[in-house]
Structure 1
Amino acid sequence: MARSSTPFSLHRLAVALVSCGLGLHAAAQSANPSDSPPSSTALPGVVVKGASEAPLSVGGFGDTPIAKLPLQASIVSAERMTDRGLISLAGLTSLDASVGDSYNSAGYVSYLKVRGFDLDNRFNYRRDGLPINAEAAISLSNKGSLEVLKGTSGIQAGTSAPGGLVNLVVKRPTLELTSVTLAVSERGTIDTAMDWSRRFSDGHGNDKAFGLRVNVEAAKLRPELRDADGNRWLLSAAGDWRVSRDTLVEAEVELSRQSQPSQPGFSLLGSTLPDAKSIDPRINLNNQSWSQPVVFEGKTASLRVTHQLNADWKLQAHGAIQRLVNDDRLAYPFGCTASDGTYYASSYCPDGTFDQYDFRSENEHRDTDALDLSAQGKLDIGGMRHDLSTGVLFSRFRSRLQGQAYNFAGTGNIWGTLPTVADPSLTGTNTDRTERSTEFYLRDAVQLSERWQGWLGLRHTRLHRESWQVNAAPGAEQPTRYSQSLTTPWLGASYAIDPQLMAYGSWGEGVQSDVAPNRAEYVNKGRALPALRSKQWEFGLKSGSRSVDWSINYFDIRQAAARDVDAGGGLVERVLDGTQHHRGIEAQADLKWTGGGVVASAMKLRARIEGSSDASLNGLKPANVPETTLKLQAHQNAFLTGLELQAGLVYEGKRMVLPDNSVAIPGWTRLDLGAKYEQNVGRQLLIWRVGVDNVTDRRAWRESPYQYGHAYLYPLANRTWRASVEWVL
């Protein structure tokens, strides 16, 4: 069958969406109160800062609002996270159509996709703009917002996967604030938190020279998922010191710990997709008597000094350290040996049984250090204004692990009724890594004319990476060592159609660096592969006003693909072969009216493998990537003063389960409902929140990650309730 060059009429859809957006803009303009004749009885105006005016710190262009940047991003505020009951980064998948699940297991690390590409937890995450390792349970209780940059990030990160970046923005001192929250949910989860902030005098007439903000959280976890009880806590403090009118010093520290058993995935039964309605989503296959919790401990601290040289230029030094210690443990189902001797490598047995392993990798240490030195300012050259940012980022990452257990423990089943026997012997090897990088960068926003603006960025990265196996036999450590120099450019142009509507186009590159696995079956084991470059084109319209913020864009990303090919004699070789080509249309809108609003986003994605030397792979869809997604959150003030009703809708289309596209899981829709009531008690405020996720108790396969040659299935969580009260003094 001939394959159309536009399988779902991308260009036609783009024209329709742009036309719709221009109509929406015209409607917003006509409804804008500022265009109405003045009234003698009009009340004084109140300026409300909307999402379109919010700066995007991870974008790299200073305080430029999102609506004026030639790229796509979203910002999720702390209030929105609280209203939705989000407790981990995986919660982003319910808010933004471009963000999806990539192997999100309860009690474990959050893994995300953006624009269909898996984010790399080692390189695609930032904390106040500095690189961190996200192989951890990251608490959100001291985060002021989450930023998601979509698309290639070559000018923001030295090496990263092409989907985008996630930036965690830490809460900083504000004016006087005391907030205490008590929340209950699920089978008895209890979560308590405090957010406290004050400003202090320096004794020399400046009564706001010092600021301090403290966040404390402690939770007893009893989720709907069985055999997954645990606990978590966080203690953080952020302070600042206005040394002078021109110099600001900011420091913060965060300590956290989470202990909770995680959740293995279900799988195919032979070649058959099990009916999701027949699976109880509360069953945890990690329910053996010997199962141990996964423990994540984290320590993070940062120091930032900003000095304003003059009205146009400022200097900044920003450094951070992160120390992670993990105990990764799981009663791990993988594959199946049937009674007739048949081995199923990518699934469980047709009768619902599987091989279970005792997996333990304890005392994992991951350390990250980063220091960014930068200068930002304005110049007039040739009659054009340049907003410049330049600097250098030094970073270092070290992982120090020990031997791991991965031992056969017996036969389990998908009903969780068969006991197996522990074997914690540390018979397996692990890999230690040391990585260093130096990244020089320059970004410039050039005002070409009253309406035209040019954007450019360049990042040059010098990296050195080495690794070696631990717990290996003497002489079998298989060390690897390599260095690379990489340069990633980015160009953009924007045109102001009117003060609120902007058209833009951009082109940029990203890069990943990798080596062939350090395993005996690879003929090129431990050798560096050529840089995996990604290239992206993007075109769009963006608009921001008091009544509606919206954007529509088309993107096209091509990423070099690496795969294993047969090298003969039972050996394989990791090579670059073909591309992973993702192109699609995104649309976002934040509609605001008196007493309510709707935030909606949608993405139509075409993801394919192209140009492979193996013709059978070309045209295939990657596993676990939906083609159509829709996310919507609505809120409206109700009949009672202070009461707000909330609703959320999530739709995700079908996903491929296997790389050969022979099995797919159907799409699903989830409805969430909630309410918030603000009650004034004297000079204090009580905020009551209640919510029910998956109101209809829909049963479906939520995602289908494919890892290590095995297909996994994660069920949509069953109906889940939550309630909280926040006391604001």
Structure 2
Amino acid sequence: MTLFLRPSPDHRPHAAGFVLLTVATGILPLAPARAADQTRIPSQSQNQNQSQNQTHPQKTPDAGKQDTPTRSEATKDEKIVVTARRQNQMQVISGGQLGVLGTKKGLDVPFNVRSYTSSLILNQQSQTLGQVLENDPSVRTTYGYGNFSEMFVIRGFQIDGDDVSINGLYGITPRQLVSPQLYDQVQVLNGASAFLNGAAPGGSAIGGNINLMFKHATDTPITQVTGDYTSNALGGGSVDFGRRFGRDNAFGFRLNVAGQSGEDSIDHEHRHSAALGADFDWHDDRTRISLDMDYQNQGVDWGRPAIFLGTGVTAVPRPVAPAGNFGQPWAYNQLNYIFGMLNVEHDLSKHVTLYGAFGGMGGNEQGNYSNPTVTDTATGDGTAGSMYVPYVQTNESTRAGVRAHFDTGPVRHEINAGGSALWEETDTAYSMALTSISTNIYRTAYTAPLANTFNGGNVGNPQPINDTRLYSLFFSDTMSFFRDRVALTAGFRYQNMLIDGYDYVPSGRGPVNSRYDQDAITPVVGLVVHPTRRTALYFNRIEGLSPGQTASGNVVNVGQVFAPYKSTQYEVGAKYDTGRFSTSLAVYEISQPNAYTQAIGNTGTYRFTEDGLQRNRGVELNVNGQILPGLRFNGGGTVIDADLRRTAGGLQDGHSAIGVPNYTINGNLEYDLPFLKGATVVGRVVNTGKQWVNTANTLHLPVWTRFDLAARYTFAVDHKPLTLRFGVDNLANTRYWASAFNGYLLEGLPRTFKFSFTANL
């Protein structure tokens, strides 16, 4: 059954209209709320002086009456500014949605999870999911398989866009780029999550999970208009509207519209996006229902790609000028997605809740990709090919279960039982050039498009290349002892995977070239001990059966599905949480097959491959919250040891994995200026350690550091809050290779200026 119609298959970027928002109502000269200081209520001594001079001819009783409305309005505006500034504060919540366990506080679970809020997304003008996750010390963002998609790295393992979940449900998230304006929270779980959410369909998400939560109407009405600008000439805006109505405000409606278009901070690189989300919900005393329907379009034209190093290269080339673009004008991608989900919860009693969710996604992607392969690192000379890939995906995903609470003597139980299923069909093809062009990353010659003459499948009407069906049943019991000071979670998930791969053919399903039908029972054990009500010590051991990774993007074996594998994680840690301030420390070990992309000689073509096992051990520290009144911090650091084992012939055993930094540090500091009400300054530092470029460990990227600076100012206009923001990313305009993950060298963005305003109407 197909839930969504496929978007239009036109593969060239069409005019994606973006939302240009301005406040056209007559805005009079603006007086900031600081004016309240000039009309403050007089002190007691001043009142006495006024009473003594009450009979002075120049003073009348009417004069005092005329001052009262001014003082009242100023006080009202000051309260509006204080409230708006509090809502704008950088906030990272300890806890989040944990799949079968439901929404939990971070202190109460044996996992490391935190949530970034929509106010942080708005204040930082984040236009992609990767820009939101720049705040997380354990996450690094790179590009996917030879295209412009974002790929995330947690605990040294990748998370593909296919494996980002929404409300704990896999398979319904836009695959390459995600518009964060549609979401209330971006949640990051460090560590394996197969028990919590089931197997990720793309075969990644071993080192962690990223979960998105849709926006829904709140008790407070929302009418918010935002306009934004990003250098060089990228403009856009958004509207956020929410209302509750009906008896007891039982019905809710939330509408989000966002868009942008123009040239970003990289020379010639144009981006466009449009996102629309309509969210409905209803509740009574026992039932809660929500329906979310969304559309997203994103595209990149003349994008700056990642680069490869050719065989025989003995050094890493120096990065190009920060804004330099070595991509070709005809390289692009165009991404269209229709997606959504239905959630239902019903309380049979105060102890038993039934729940279910169903979602789907229809995706249509097209792109012509060209990645330089550098053959001479001193001069920057190299070659570049061309590959056009259409990619159509139809997914359906569901989850249902029961959650029950009861006591057996002194022990309190929370039982979770249910099942999940996911159906995914991927239709794709490719057309590539058999010749390559000569290029230079420092002095790029822009050429006419290459003739893509070698085809696999039907590029005009892609046919199925693989079918994935994932089924699972789960059960867990969380037992709480000694008045909830000790909680032990034990459970299992039975997982079954049916994965078929097909040959490329002009029509219909081709012959089966790979078939996997595997199942396993994967247990989970977690322990939480609360020495005090604000502290916790925890341990978990969790296994997961994951589908093998699928080659996609600009590789000659696009569509190849690798064998499923079983992974095991051990983790121990400590947490402290006061509500306003939280910190956590974790030590872990986890492993999975080692996968990366390698150049095929100097032909300008590439292959995605696996070799051996990658075992990662590490330590993580996260610190979030208010340090002092008006001073907030978000950040932390990680140390990772990523070893290769069981490689072919043992040649790379003991070496470090490609693109995994030996350490990462993030620090985000926010300070409310005491001498200017409504004003806040923000500083951020991102530091990433050494990364190996090849499995032989003869080439590496050096340590890099980036500094960002921003400020915002909130004031009242006609008794409504208005916030202005200005920021600079990569303040020093540092040139650096940001990532070598998967064998790609991705250059960091240049100095980027951002400006936005938000009016609450």
TM-score range for the pair, normalised by the shorter chain length: 0.7 to 0.9
Name the residue aligned to 1:81: 121
Residue 373 of structure 1 corresponds to which residue in structure 2?
400
Q: Secondary structure at the match of 2:122?
A: helix
Of 223, 236, 239 in structure 1, the residue corresponding to residue 277 of structure 2 is 236
1:209 aligned residue: 250
Structure 1, residues 222-246: CA drift from partner, whole Å, max 9, x if none?
111122213211111001122x421
Residues 647 and 672 of structure 1 are in contact (CA less than 8 Å); yes or no, is this contact kept in structure 2?
yes
The CA deviation string for residues 385-429 of structure 1, in whole angstroms up to 9 with x for no partner, is 111221111210111123433442422221353243424445232
Instruction: Report SS of the residue matched to 1:82.
Output: helix
Deviations 1:473-529 (A, max 9, x none): 9998553223111222110111111111111111111222338989xxx9xx98974
Counterpart for residue 690 of structure 1: 726
Residue by residue over 1:313-369, the C-alpha shift from the partner in whole angstroms, topping out at 9 and shown as x without a partner, is 11112111101100121233346xxxxxxxxxxx5575422222221113x211110
1:73–1:148 CA contact under 8 A, matched in 2: yes
Q: Which residue of 2 aligns with 1:96?
A: 136
Instruction: Return the offset for 1:266.
Output: 3.5
Quick one: distance in 2 between partners of 1:527 and 1:139?
Answer: 28
**Aligned CA distance change for structure 1 residues 591 and 377 (closer, same or farther; 3 Å):** same
Q: Pick closer, same or farther for the CA change 1:375–1:527 going to 2, 3 Å.
A: closer
For structure 1, the 5+ residue unaligned runs are: 1-45, 336-346, 565-573
Alignment of 1:642-681 (within 5 A): 642-681=678-717
Instruction: State the alpha-carbon separation in 1 of the partners of residues 92 and 746 from structure 2.
Output: 35
> Greater CA deviation, 624-633 or 471-480?
471-480
Q: Which residue of 616, 619, 623 corresponds with 1:589? A: 623
Distance 1:501 1:220 in 2: 47
Task: Give the match for residue 601 of structure 2.
Answer: none
Does the alignment pair 1:499 with 2:533?
yes
Match of 2:306 among 265, 271, 281: 265
Structure 1 SS opposite 2:119: helix
C-alpha RMSD of matched pairs (Å): 3.1
Q: Report if aligned partners of 2:146, 2:306 keep a CA contact under 8 Å in 1.
A: no
The correspondence of residues 409-420 of structure 1 with structure 2, limited to 5 A, is: 409-420=436-447
- The residue aligned with 1:6 is none
Q: Which amino acid aligns with 1:392?
A: G
Change (3 A) 1:461 1:673: same
Match of 2:353 in 1: 314
Q: Aligned partners of 1:98 and 1:235: how far apart in 2?
A: 30
Residues 608, 728 of structure 1: alpha-carbon distance in 2 compared, 3 angstrom cutoff: same
2:217 counterpart (157, 161, 173): 173
The answer as to whether partners of 1:673 and 1:695 remain within 8 angstroms in 2 is yes
Which residue number in structure 1 is paired with residue 489 of structure 2? 455
Pairwise CA distance, 1:722: 0.2
What CA distance in whole angstroms lies between the structure 2 residues aligned with 1:212 and 1:475?
Answer: 42
Shift of 1:257: 0.9
1:558 aligns with 2:591: yes
CA distance in 1, matches of 2:560, 2:407: 49
Q: Which amino acid aligns with 1:299?
A: I
Instruction: Quickly say closer, same or farther: Cα 1:539–1:55, change in 2 above 3 A.
Output: closer
Rate the CA distance shift 1:435–1:107 in 2: closer, same or farther, 3 A: closer
Q: Does 1:509 pair with 2:543?
A: yes
Instruction: Give the match for residue 36 of structure 1.
Output: none
SS in structure 2 at match of 1:470: coil
2:735 pairs with one of 685, 691, 699 = 699
Q: After the TM superposition, which residues 513-528 of structure 1 pair with which residues of structure 2 at under 5 Å, given as runs?
A: 513-514=547-548
Q: CA deviation at 1:703?
A: 1.1
Q: Tell me the secondary structure at the aligned position of residue 669 of structure 2.
A: strand
Name the residue aligned to 1:441.
474
Deviation at 1:280, TM superposition (A): 1.4
Closer, same or farther: CA 515–260 of 1 in aligned 2, 3 Å: closer
**Match 1:358 to one of 386, 393, 406:** 386
Look up the SS of the partner of 1:552 in the other structure: strand
SS of 2:123's partner is: helix
Aligned to 2:750: 718
The answer (yes or no) to whether the contact 1:534–1:560 under 8 Å persists in 2 is no
Q: Which residue of 2 aligns with 1:636?
A: 671
Return closer, same or farther for 1:583/1:658 CA change in 2, 3 Å cut-off.
same
Note if contact 2:240-2:257 (Cα within 8 Å) is conserved in structure 1. Answer: yes
Q: Which residue of 1 aligns with 2:227?
A: 182
Residue 533 (1) aligns with residue 569 (2) = no
Query: Could you tell me whether the CA contact under 8 Å between 2:465 and 2:509 is conserved in 1?
Result: no
- CA 1:129/1:694 → structure 2, altered by over 3 Å: closer, same or farther? same
CA distance in 1: counterparts of 2:716 and 2:551, whole angstroms? 60
Please report how far the alpha carbon of residue 51 of structure 1 lies from its aligned counterpart in structure 2 after TM superposition.
Answer: 6.9
- The alignment-based identity, stated in percent, is 21
Displacement of 1:555: 0.7
Please list the CA deviations of residues 574-616 of structure 1 after superposition, one character each: whole Å capped at 9, or x if unmatched. Answer: 9997532111111111241211211121101111113446333
State the secondary structure of the residue aligned to 1:94: helix
User: In structure 1, what is the Cα distance between the partners aligned to 2:533 and 2:349?
Assistant: 29
> Does residue 142 in structure 1 map to residue 182 in structure 2?
yes
> SS of the residue aligned with 1:91?
helix
Q: Quick check: 1:136–1:324 contact (8 Å CA) kept in 2? A: no
For normalisation by structure 1, the TM-score amounts to: 0.83
- 8 Å CA contact 1:227–1:286 kept in 2: the answer is no
CA shift in 2, pair 1:350/1:694, >3 Å: closer
> Residue type matched to 1:314 in 2?
T
479-488 or 261-270, larger mean C-alpha shift: 261-270
Letter in 2 for 1:276: R
Q: CA deviation at 1:64?
A: 2.3
Between 1 and 2, higher relative CO (CA 8 Å, sep ≥ 6) is seen in 2
SS state of the match for residue 428, structure 1?
strand
C-alpha change, 1:667 and 1:559, in structure 2 (3 Å) is same
Aligned partner of 2:53 in structure 1 is none
Q: Which residue of structure 2 aligns with residue 543 of structure 1?
A: 576
Matches within 5 A, 1:111-130: 111-122=151-162, 124-130=163-169
Where does residue 413 of structure 2 map in the other structure? 386
- Counterpart of 2:345, as a letter, is T
1:391–1:416 CA distance, 2 compared to 1 (3 A): farther
Please state whether the residue corresponding to 2:130 is helix, strand or coil. Answer: helix
Letter in 1 for 2:353: K
User: Does residue 1:487 correspond to 2:509, yes or no?
Assistant: no
Q: CA deviation at 1:252?
A: 1.2
Is contact 1:55-1:62 (8 Å) kept?
no
CA gap of 1:273–1:632, structure 2 versus 1, over 3 A, is same
AA partner of residue 558 (structure 1): S
Q: How many residue pairs end up in the alignment?
A: 645
Q: 1:485 to 1:419 in 2, by over 3 A?
A: same
Distance in structure 2 (CA, Å) of the matches to 1:200 and 1:117: 45
Amino acid at match of 1:607: A
Residue range with higher mean Cα deviation, 176-185 or 155-164 = 155-164
Q: Is the 8 A contact 1:403 1:470 kept in 2?
A: no
Q: 2:657 aligns with which of 622, 625, 634?
A: 622
Larger radius of gyration between Structure 1 and Structure 2:
2
Gap change, CA 1:216 and 1:250, over 3 Å in 2: same
Could you tell me whether the CA contact under 8 Å between 1:600 and 1:631 is conserved in 2?
A: yes
**Mean Cα displacement is larger for which, 393-402 or 660-669?**
393-402
- What is the distance in 1 between the residues matched to 2:596 and 2:235? 46
Q: How many Å apart are 1:545 and its aligned residue?
A: 0.5
Q: TM-score w.r.t. structure 2 length?
A: 0.79
* Matches of 1:661 and 1:385, distance apart in 2: 52
